[in-house]
Amino acid sequence: MLINPLKDKLQTLKLTGFLEALVEQESNPALVSDLSFGDRLGLLADREISLQENRRTERRLKAARLRQNATPEDMDFRAPRNLSRPLVQTLLSGQWIQNHQNVLITGPTGVGKSFIAEALGHKACRLGYNVLLVRFPRLFQSLEIARSTGKLLTFLKTLARQDVLILEDFALTPITAEQRQDLFEILEDRHNLHSTIITSQIPQKEWHDRIGEPSLADAILDRLVHGAYILELKGESMRKTKAKTTPTVDS
């Protein structure tokens, strides 16, 4: 078969990785001269598989709506903030997602709660899971809009099917009766089926009072806390620490 028609067919099939690897083999024949036809074909197929997986990961990351460029490689374990490296490594394996467990991250402002949550979300996308980040206050705004436009069920289904749902800034303000019921429905739909990451400045022991209505608060926290991994961060704001160590430039 002539090589140019083959390239055209690969382009038509959108086998970009296969085509790129073929061009490389063609331009550097010495690199593959000792390989059998099957081995060379395997290298071409591997490139295509890798490229397609990278594209799928990019789509998952875009859909996740992560707000920071937070990656596991950039996690800082040097700052004294009660962050356990072994625990983080366990979480980065993704086993907690397979087991449908939750991750609860609490601590004062600036200690890196959101960064850790989004880094775990980034890793989940790499592992092939669907992720969605929603700030807790805006969750209820979105629910109100969906309810008023007749799209509430669709929105709830979107939340329910996420492998990992990240809720940032949990319970910063008291929760209304309608919000309590909505939150319960969201967590009930996900319970033992998918995983949720919570970040909050509010200590976990105060969540019950923040939610209000004891029986519903019990039901919500039972679905969140039972079997969850808990990270209680401490220490000074990392933003303040960085500001102190950043050298000033005289004007």
Task: Tell me the domain boundaries of the chain.
Answer: 3-64, 72-236
**Residue 179, Cβ neighbours under 10 Å: how many?**
18
Judge whether 243 and 110 are in contact, CB under 8 Å: no
pLDDT of residue 230: 96
| Residue range 72-236 in CATH 3.40.50.300 | yes
Model confidence pLDDT, tens digit, residues 49-90 = 788 788 888 999 999 999 988 999 999 888 888 899 999 999
Judge whether 48 and 20 are in contact, CB under 8 Å: no
pLDDT of residue 39: 81
Q: Could you tell me the pTM of the whole model?
A: 0.81
pLDDT of residue 55: 87
Residue with tokens 């209000």: 212
State how far the Cα of 54 lies from the Cα of 56, in Å rounded to an integer.
5
Residues of the chain with pLDDT under 70: 1-2, 238-251
pLDDT of residue 44: 81
pLDDT of residue 16: 80
pLDDT of residue 209: 92
pLDDT of residue 20: 80
Burial profile 102-111: b = 16 or more Cβ within 10 angstroms, e = fewer: bbbbbbeebb
Structure tokens at 37: 């036809």
186, 223, 229 from 209: Cα distances, Å: 19, 16, 21
